[in-house]
Chains A and B, each alone.
Chain A
Amino acid sequence: MSSTMAILPATWDMYDLVQSFLRTPTYHLVVEVCLVLLIIKLIFSKSYKPEKMVLSEKEKEELIAEWTPEPLVPDIPEDHPVIQLMEKNIVTGPPGKYINIRQKSCINMATMNFLGMVANKTIEDEAVRCIKKYGVGSCGPRGFYGTMDVHLDLESKLATFMDCEEAIIYSYGFATISSAIPAYSKRGDVIFCDEGVSFAIQKGLVASRSEIQFFKHNDMEDLERLLQEQAVKDKKNPKKAKVTRRFIVVEGLYLNYGDICPLPKIVELKWKYKVRIFLEESFSFGVLGEAGKGVTEYFGIEVDQIDLITASLENAISSIGGFCVGKKYVIDHQRLSGLGYCFSASQPPLLAAAAAQALMLMQEDPGMMIKLRENCLKLHEGLTSINGIKVVGLPHSPVKHLRLVEPSDDRDLDNQTLQLVADRAIENKVACTVARYLEKEEKFLPPPSIRIAVNCQLESTELDTVISVLAKSFNEVFAL
């Protein structure tokens, strides 16, 4: 009985099927038969295959033999002017207030030694003490016995100085910001960046693989326009907006322009459009503000408002390395995700100790910053009186660019003209340099200029010499 029960439904189905088949209209049957035929045709027809390129062994060998790669590097003549110039301007001795080039002791207007920390005796003593305790190198990354107590000391001093919860140090200035940006901003995130940012930031942006929106240099309206556009986009796609992090990347004091970012406005936009701010202070740290804390102090803005502040230790501090400061939860993330932090040997202890010492000197004597400002103002005034050039940069900025008022269309020609000026200045014992750029790789190439860096140790008479020598050199070159 049970076996019949098992068969019955199947039989029943069959019966149903036959019944319904008989009941269907003819046109339906015709259509279905056509369909079945089509399927059969498709099954048995030859499927379309593009003719497969099968290369014989001989052809393969020929292909391999035929291929000639481009040369590894372009052919550069041995007497390329820049290389010749490097060899000609080779420096002997310390690049302090005075620098020795071409057997001449020149006033140094090229080194970013704003606070005169190069060749400072107490810093040198500290460095020597460190060599005697730690040797020269640290022989390991921070994770693997490369963390010396001097590193921790420098980190805590920097954090206290900047009134932040935590600091992290890198062993190279360039690697600091270019590792910090990709640690936070990933594919799919959006970065709003000033067009005038320096090359290290540009590399960080590329490494982050985020979407980059450039706004015109220091143009807050342009930034706001971009932010509004983003807000519209976000409204259209709220699901995506929920996971898209947004950052503004600006410099405190722009190396390429010598001007300061309008931070109060940027902070206002931050809260209005919910964007985080990364602030690069390589040239404003130790320069702006009464204590030298940078652009936040200059504008009287709380550091808490800025999500991440980075700076290199290679300018005002005159060591080698860089640091980031911010909230603990922000900074700690870099200890596992900052590529240049995790995978690089730590900063040589002597350089960390020297940086800590320089920081202390800075704190002990805020007069340095005042003197620096005075020098900047004086120099600026003197330089603006030179005919045929314009001084780009704020009067109190220690970085100034001297650009031609009437540049030609040929960038190389302008560079050559400026180089002539620099050469003459060196002959007259004032060392300055034409600002160098990788012209093909810069996102927004600044116009050619002579870049002047001001040192707080320069005396009034020395500044007068600098101004008169530069004026003379420009006049001579323009008269050619």
Chain B
Amino acid sequence: MATVKALKTVEIMSGNNHNLQEGKNGVKPDGNGRVNGRNGSSSYKSKKNWKDNFYESFEETPLLTAILTVMCYGILVLVGHIREYLRFYSIEQNKGHTEPKIEGFVPLFQSWESFYTRNVYRRIRDCWNRPVASSAGAYIDVVECKSDDHNWSLELTEKKYHVMNFGSYNYLGFSETTGPCADSAEQCVRETSLSVTNSRQELGYTTVHQELDRKVAKFLGVEDAITFPMGFATNSMNMPCLVGKGCLLLSDELNHASLVLGSRLTGSTIRVFKHNNMADLEKKLKAALLEGRPRNHRPWKKILIVVEGVYSMEGSIVRLPEILLLKKKYKAYVYLDEAHSIGALGPHGRGVTDYFGIDPKEVDIMMGTFTKSFGAAGGYLAGSKALIRHFRLHSHSSVYSAAVPPPIAKQVISVIDIISGIDGTKKGIERINQLAWNTQYMRRRLQEMGFIVYGNKDSPVVPFIVFYPTKLASISRKALERGLGVVVVGFPATPVIEGRVRLCMSAAHTKEMLDKTLDILNQLGDELNLKYSRKTPPDFKEDDSLLNKEVRH
């Protein structure tokens, strides 16, 4: 069956201006619905094709593990129900802050709405929202949270864990308390002001914003850019300016919540395609053009494909070259969210377009955030002059809410200067290379140890699957005790059976730190039995030439 599917895919791909040979090492849908890339065979090493170096894997969940994981949730839910019952009859004391009954009012929450929160999430909630008492650099100080009543209430203690930080999105290590970026932010607080609370159109547009907009546009290699103080709002407040009723939005199924909210606010028809699955996208594009709008069959006004550069939960990289081919063939527009990829991907740190060697002008709307690689906050939209003019006039943010705080803008400006080498040093490129090397090293070693690692070999988001919610909690707690801060993600942010640990790589990590981390994970992997992979380890190896001798090593 799988072969039939694969063959079909090859056919579709070949209809899509690819020759058949390219199709062979192309997409192959896996059992879990995602698309695997080339799985480590080295027989297609012609330099021309981007797919030669596109290694992406999503190993299937072993059947037994899947069943046991579901059972694990089943038991949690069952126990939850019993205890809800006990609490309802006041046999067990109710320690949560439940809604009081007010005569005549409809309850604010349905009881089932919070069932999962009370009975499953609550038990392990100390694994999230951990307070931090330092910058989000290579190491962080995590404040210990204690609970005497099984996490119903959490108390902060004086104790702090000084741990290696593999949780923050500090890809290029610019979350620093000293150095040129922090200095320029500080100077800006003194000279300009902490914040500009007016909107751009109401005397909130300052010279700092002008500089930032220009810097971002130049860095990305596009005509113009506009910036906003919150990354989430960049999506949710601006997508409605682009499409509306009578337009079609084709959205990747794993798109971030901000894109989903933004899409909903547009009022256009939304169709979801399978994650990174170009065959499915093409099918939906074709159907859209042939059938037109539902009911009245009028042609669509516009079609907008919404994708992300790097997917933050899967660690996959968008198949941008193919998306752009489809875009041309079907005359759709492309909205590319580079929240996790800008700065972190590509030889010059300019995101996915840089990674694939594509002219950024081919993408209609480039979006990204400053929260991650830039160690600041906010987001940008970039593209043609006409597009950005439209945003300057019609973005909700330009009219109704505050512009980027100047010190934060300054941080971004100085980071861009460093990455693009304007400051006259090679520090930026060294960071980019260090990150690329760290990523590949970590991914290779983890796979060799036998973890199921998801995603692309070049993606700095490194998730490995631990399946059980119980294992999520124990690995998170044990890792913290041993000096490692990681993020764990479970249902509902992931599919039920695919709870995972996510490591975010950073240029601030040294090889010693990586080795130490791998040691800890290796131990934990054995203790908690997390090494599920049954695949042969991949054949890629990190590129040591990335680390020249001057770099921290």
Contacts and interface: CB of A to CB of B under 8 A. Distances in A.
Interface of A: 55, 60, 63-64, 67-70, 72-76, 78, 80, 82-83, 85-86, 89-96, 99, 101, 110-113, 118-119, 123-124, 127-128, 131-140, 142-149, 151-152, 171-175, 178, 184, 198-200, 203, 206-207, 241-246, 274, 276, 307, 314-315, 318-320, 327-330, 332-333, 335-336, 339-340, 342-345, 347-348, 350-351, 354, 431, 433, 435-438, 441, 451
A86 B200 contact: yes
B225 interface: no
A354 to B, nearest CB: 5
Interface string B222-265: 00000001111100110011100000000000001110010011
27 contacts: A69-B332, A72-B333, A80-B393, A90-B207, A112-B197, A118-B195, A136-B376, A139-B371, A144-B128, A144-B168, A146-B136, A147-B132, A148-B133, A171-B230, A171-B232, A172-B230, A173-B402, A184-B108, A314-B402, A318-B195, A329-B99, A345-B230, A345-B232, A345-B377, A431-B203, A433-B203, A438-B399
Given A127-B407, A145-B165, A95 B204 contact: yes
Interface stretch (B42-50, B383-391, B449-457): B383-391
The residue among A152, A200, A348 with the most chain B CB atoms within 10 A of its own CB is A348
A136 B156 CA distance: 24
- Of the candidates A131, A318, A438, the one having the most CB atoms from chain B within 10 angstroms of its own CB is A131
A276 B185 CA distance: 43
A213 to B, nearest CB: 16
B194 A350 contact: yes
Q: Nearest 8 A-B pairs (CB), nearest first?
A: A94-B193, A344-B232, A172-B230, A135-B135, A345-B371, A73-B390, A139-B136, A139-B168
Contacts of B376: 136-137, 348
Task: Tell which of B107, B131, B143, B167 has the most Cβ of chain A within 10 Å.
Answer: B131
Contacts of B142: 145
B177 A118 contact: no
A146 B229 contact: no
Contacts of B549: none
A339 B263 CA distance: 14
Nearest to B247: A70
A320 B332 contact: no
B387 A175 contact: no
B531 interface: no
B257 A343 contact: yes
B147 interface: no
Interface stretch (B69-77, B298-306, B354-362, B540-548): B298-306
B232 A72 contact: no
B106 interface: yes
A132 B132 contact: no
Contacts of B28: none
Nearest to A337: B113
A231 B303 CA distance: 43
B84 interface: no
Contacts of A136: 175, 181-182, 185, 375-377, 407-408, 411
A174 B370 contact: no
A148 B135 CA distance: 9
A226 to B, nearest CB: 17
Kindly state the interface size class of chain B when it binds its partner: 35 or more
A68 to B, nearest CB: 7
B401 A314 contact: yes
B369 interface: yes
A175 B389 CA distance: 23
A160 to B, nearest CB: 17
A174 B397 contact: yes
Contacts of B191: 93
A68 B475 CA distance: 53
B289 A245 contact: no
Nearest to B259: A343
A142 B371 CA distance: 13
Contacts, number: 349
Contacts of B132: 145-149
A112 B403 CA distance: 13
B194 A137 contact: no
B278 interface: no
Contacts of B100: 329
Given A135-B176, A314-B197, A340-B233, A90 B303 contact: no
Nearest to A172: B230
B193 A244 contact: no
A172 B401 contact: yes
Count chain B CB atoms within 10 A of each CB in A72, A242, A314, A347 and give the residue with the most.
A72
Interface string B261-286: 10011000000000000000000001
B217 to A, nearest CB: 15
Contacts of B196: 91, 95, 111
Nearest to B203: A110
Interface of B: 97-100, 104-110, 114, 117, 121, 128-137, 140, 142-143, 156, 165, 167-170, 175-178, 181-182, 185-186, 189-207, 210, 229-233, 236-237, 240-242, 256-258, 261, 264-265, 286, 289-290, 299-303, 329-333, 364-365, 369-372, 374-377, 385-387, 389-390, 392-394, 396-397, 399-402, 405, 407-408, 411, 485, 487
B203 A72 contact: no
Given A145-B167, A336-B117, A438-B394, A137 B411 contact: yes
A171 B167 CA distance: 20
A136 B375 CA distance: 7
Contact of A55 (B108, B256, B290, B405): B290
Nearest to A171: B230
A2 B258 CA distance: 74
Contacts of A307: 108
B233 A174 contact: yes
Given A112-B198, A140-B136, A145-B487, A174 B396 contact: yes
Given A135-B137, A137-B371, A145-B168, A320 B197 contact: yes
Nearest to A166: B97
Given A69-B332, A144-B168, A135 B136 contact: yes
B231 A344 contact: yes
B359 to A, nearest CB: 17
Contacts of A138: 136, 168, 371, 377
A70 B377 CA distance: 34
B364 to A, nearest CB: 6
A73 B233 contact: no
A147 to B, nearest CB: 5
Contact of B333 (A69, A132, A178): A69
Given A64-B289, A131-B185, A207 B230 contact: no
B106 A245 contact: yes
A175 B377 CA distance: 14
Contacts of A94: 192-193
B504 to A, nearest CB: 8
A134 B177 contact: yes
A79 to B, nearest CB: 10
Contacts of A433: 198, 201-203
A101 B196 CA distance: 14
Contacts of B128: 143-144
A146 B375 CA distance: 12
Contacts of B121: 336
A124 B185 CA distance: 11
A173 B189 contact: no
